[in-house]
Amino acid sequence: MRLEQLRYLSDIQYTNSISKTANRFFLSQQSLSNNIRQLEKELGVALLERSPFGVVLTKEARSLLELSDPFLRQYDDLQNQFALQQQVESEDVLKHIRILNSSALTSIVLPKAIAIFSKRYPRIRVSIKEISYRDVFPAIYENACNVAFLSINEEYFLDQLNTAADLDSFHYNIMLTDRLVACVPSQSPLAEKEMIEQSDIMTRPFTYLNIVPLVKNNARNSNLALYTSHNIEFHRRILQEMDVVSLMPRYVYVNLFENKHVVAKPLEGAQQTIYHATLYPSATPNPIVKELVNIVTSLL
């Protein structure tokens, strides 16, 4: 059992994809698959299985990560602490960390993360400003923050990277790779379906939460309202009051909407990939800021 094999397995629980995890670790799919098979052979158990959401961890794999994740976090903390010791810019110099946030998922854990961070660095002030996803990249280019959090669809994110004037002027990290799911009221006829089809979406109102809105075929759906909002309570209320389909990242559903009144279903065809990402306005982020981000990531 090797450290990198555990990291691969831990990453797959978020990406639900061999190819995406391989890309994130700069490996071929074959190499990553071989590593997982070697680990399965060593342990004598299956670690991955197919599901409507892609590749998921087996019960044995989840048990393994429950044991190994604390060790991985300790190893990462050791690396971070060493980097902090080597950092010329000390706590005395860094007085204020400015956070820009456009992620509903990150908003859930930021208060707790800042409380943990402030116990370690009581002299550093942390401020948060909620902004639109449209304003995140311009703010990064203008050096208007120390770090920004966003949840965004993969296509928009990659477009921003492709059009960036200077990729070396900032740094980014994908905290979690997510999937777009369709949430419906538990009393809706759609709640009985294994998968929500495009025709289902085209026959009732639907909403988008915390992602770049997609193009809707108004020619086939001219009488239906389309709501786009980052307001969590708005989506909770509309799911209680209407037979509506609400599209949102799966982790947002799990953390904010999963209850007896709302169910999530996979979408027909290619499921849109959502990135929960961190952006820094520097090619070499300050280690103290990165430590705050690591706390946020560990709580997601």
pLDDT at 235: 83
| Cβ-defined contacts of 121-126 (< 8 Å, 24+) | 121/91, 121/288, 123/91, 123/92, 123/95, 124/91, 124/94, 124/95, 124/96, 124/97, 124/288, 125/95, 125/96, 125/97, 126/96, 126/97, 126/99, 126/292
Tell me which residue of 30, 40, 55, 56 sits closest to 6, measured CA to CA.
40
pLDDT at 251: 85
Residue that has been written with the tokens 């797959």 in this structure: 12
pLDDT at 221: 45
Q: Can you tell me the distance from the alpha carbon of 151 to that of 137, in angstroms, rounded to the nearest whole number?
A: 12
Query: Residue 78 is which amino acid?
Result: L
Could you give the domains of the chain?
3-83 (1.10.10.10), 90-175+282-299 (3.40.190.10), 178-274 (3.40.190.10)
For the chain, residues with pLDDT lower than 70 are 53, 79-93, 165-167, 210-227, 269-271
pLDDT digits (tens, 9 = 90+) for 31-85: 888 889 989 999 999 999 888 768 888 999 989 988 888 887 777 777 666 656 5
